[in-house]
Structure 1
Amino acid sequence: MQSRVDQPMSRYDGAVPGASLLIVQDGKPLVRRSYGLSNLEEQTVATPDTNYRLASVTKQFTAAAILLLAEDGKLDLDDPLRKWFPSLPEVATRMTLRHVLTHTSGLIDYEDVIPPTMTGQLHDADVLEILETQNRTYFTPGTAYRYSNSGYALLALIVGKASGKDFATFLKERIFVPLGMTNTVAYEEGVSSVNRRAFGYSEEHGRWTRTDQSQTSAVLGDGGIYSSIDDLAKWDVALYDDRLLSARSRQLAFTPVVDSDDPNVRYGMGWRITEEQIGGSTLWHSGETIGFRNVIVRYPERRFTVVLLSNRNDPEPYQTARAIAQLFLR
């Protein structure tokens, strides 16, 4: 079985940007290994405790933070977005936190309307500033689906407002430390550091070039967490019981609310949901940003999970993770 797993992972092996692969059954790792390099310049070999930028895999943690604060009574999922951001234009009046969590808000994509005066790296607060100028939506809130990084940046700011702590500190104190995810961090340059950090690369004209950061890489709520397969194993097992989220909160996160732009995929709160012929229902999320491509695919009916993290722009890992899962689930 190990050789059969290594075959689809072979493209990550050698003196190239690499990947880390975790396969978990009933909370126990069946496969836990890494391929290739986490740092080409220093020839650092990737290991299971290498930390990769999760990109949009971050969204499940942002959603969990909001659900925890709802459990605390600090906010309500049906709060109007303008309750938390009265500076937003009138068009946001009908948007709720529930809409934002499920990508049904219609918020404008901030990446499409960055003003030319904003030349440095953006942060979540900059996203709010940009959206304050956008008195329009893609559709009436609650009537359609459009994946929204804008919304998840705002959710990170709401975590700060509702908890009285900044987003990164809240995640550390309420999620990462309690679960023993000691090397996971919502990374802020000059504030925090990433242990055993993988750097991102893109293949250009047959050569790998470091492309670790973009203008939007410092936005935390939509994609700023770094983690490893070892830490994500702890996250995965915590989603089966009440150690972090209540049964009601987990149900909210894992129940499909809306059809996505893929007819085979629905969306809950921070999770995509599909039905597989082999393995049953899946909860999953991918994440891609400049130099990183990642995915976590959970088969809760089988208590089986595949995590694939990589520090390169290609290939897309979701189908690889599914193919590897089917080797075990047949």
Structure 2
Amino acid sequence: MKLEYLKKIMPFVIAILAMQSTYSQSLETQIDSVLTTVFKASEEPGAVFLVAKDGEPIYRKAFGQANIELDVKMNPENVFQIGSMTKQFTAMAIVMLEEQGKLNVNDAISNYIPDYPNGSNITIHHLLTHTSGIKDFTKMKTIMTIAKIDQTPKELVDFFKDEPVDFKPGKQFSYNNSGYVVLGYIIEIVSDKTYEDFIEQNIFEKLGMNNSRYASDRKIVKHRAYGYHNKGAFTNKMQVSLSIPYASGSLMSTVDDMLKWQEAINTNSLITEVSKKKVYTDYTLNNGEQINYGYGWHLKDIDGISTREHGGSIFGFKSMGVYVPGLDIYVVGFSNCDCHSPTKATRDIASIVINANLKN
């Protein structure tokens, strides 16, 4: 009886497996076509991309070279500086500390930095949402005077805090690295740990993100991808102190670790569902205008499907991650030349996977 039943269902099993194989091959071909258009030359700096569905990788490939001087090919395990994708971790750390009762996002920053100009009118929420109006230090002409000099968080905050504000808190949305530097400093004040130690101990170690760390150009980093510029010819990336991007952009990671990060968010491993909703709220300005930014993530859409996104750019590197909560699709791409942005490719790949899943 069992044998007859198996004989009857076997054709259907084979058909389903064949369909799944065709689906996978079709997706791989389409994704390959997107990436080989951007990352064309095998002897140049390249990229690593990962695509996951329901928490499982369905595409994971490396392109180009991790080190063009030594002729070392890129591989999916390479470690990249992720630039402003760091802001996701900084925002999460703030919300974790709020859950511990050590701060409130509606607190004025003067509660923690008493001498901060106009600090009684600027809240942690303003910093998280880029609506504080404080001057973005990366746009200041004097930035190069400190770019290669190690700064303490206080020294870095002091560098820009007395600059004239761009607007009153809550009046506008203006992407702002200074705000996330201040958040990093507040994390240190509240937790009594360095920003590096707090992120390492409370996020990376907890989630098993063993290849993620605060960036360093001096320490040995296994599987490091080296960063490059291209202004007519490839050059090694400009050397700056990594105390400068700090909590706004100084972390390193791999695509595999970033999938662990996304899964931890999905399963509420770090914060509660209630707090997570706060992170992914479309916030508004004082006049009620929506800004499409939560805490550390842009809240957008691709083909009408809601997404959570953020990119990063730092000397020699660019990064981009897109999560589609309605379909549990995650796409992340890292490039080791700031001449090649993965942003469009990442969004194009997300579109391909979204539409493939909507058809099935």
Q: Between Structure 1 and Structure 2, how many residues are aligned?
A: 322
SS at match of 1:114: helix
Could you tell me which amino acid in structure 2 is paired with residue 148 of structure 1? N
Output the aligned Cα RMSD.
Answer: 2.1
Tell me the residue number matched to 2:337.
312
Structure 2 counterpart of 1:8, which letter? Answer: V
User: Partners in 1 of 2:212 and 2:242 — Cα distance?
Assistant: 20
Q: Structure 2 residue aligned with 1:223, among 221, 239, 249?
A: 249
Match of 2:156 in 1: 127
Show structure 1 runs of 4+ deviating over 6 A. Answer: none
Unaligned runs of 5+ in 2: 1-26, 356-360
More off after superposition, 125-134 vs 213-222:
213-222
Following the alignment from structure 1 to structure 2, what is the Cα–Cα distance between the partners of residues 264 and 108? 22
Q: Report how far residue 2 of structure 1 moved.
A: 1.8
1:302 aligned to 2:324? no
Q: For residues 217 and 50 of structure 1, do their structure 2 counterparts lie closer, same or farther at Cα, with a shift above 3 Å needed?
A: farther
* CA distance in 1: counterparts of 2:326 and 2:177, whole angstroms: 30
Alpha-carbon separation, structure 2, partners of 1:106 and 1:55? 22
Partner of 2:30 in structure 1? 4
Shift of 1:72: 0.5
Identity value in percent: 30
1:105-144 map, 5 Å:
105-111=132-138, 112=140, 114=142, 118=146, 120-123=148-151, 124-134=153-163, 136-144=164-172
Which residue type is aligned with residue 155 of structure 2?
D
Alpha carbons of 1:51 and 1:264: their partners in 2 closer, same or farther (altered >3 Å)? Answer: farther
Amino acid at match of 2:85: V
Question: After the TM superposition, which residues 145-160 of structure 1 pair with which residues of structure 2 at under 5 Å, given as runs?
Answer: 145-160=173-188
41 and 142 in structure 1: CA distance in 2 versus 1, 3 angstrom threshold: same
Which one of the candidate residues 250, 253, 263 is aligned to 1:237? 263
The correspondence of residues 164-203 of structure 1 with structure 2, limited to 5 A, is 164-188=192-216, 193-203=220-230
In structure 2, C-alpha distance between the alignment counterparts of 1:203 and 1:116, rounded to whole Å = 20
TM-score by length of 1: 0.91
1:100 equivalenced with 2:127 (yes/no): yes
Asked which structure has the greater CA Rg, the reply is 2
Contact residue 322 and residue 332 of structure 2 kept, 8 A: yes
Q: 1:276 to 1:120 in 2, by over 3 A?
A: closer
Give the Å deviation of 1:18: 1.0
Aligned positions of 1:70-85 closer than 5 A? 70-85=98-113
Q: TM-score, normalised by structure 2?
A: 0.84
8 A contact 1:294–1:309 mirrored in 2:
yes
Greater CA drift, 76-85 or 291-300: 76-85
Q: In the alignment, is the contact (CA less than 8 A) between 1:202 and 1:314 conserved in 2?
A: yes
Alignment partners' CA distance in 1, 2:66 and 2:265? 28
Q: Sort the Cα spacing of 1:193 and 1:97 in 2 relative to 1 into closer, same or farther, 3 A.
A: farther
More helix by share: 2
Structure 1 unaligned blocks of 5 or more: none
What is the CA–CA distance in structure 2 between the aligned matches of 1:250 and 1:70, rounded to whole Å? 12
Asked if residue 271 in structure 1 is aligned to residue 297 in structure 2, the reply is yes
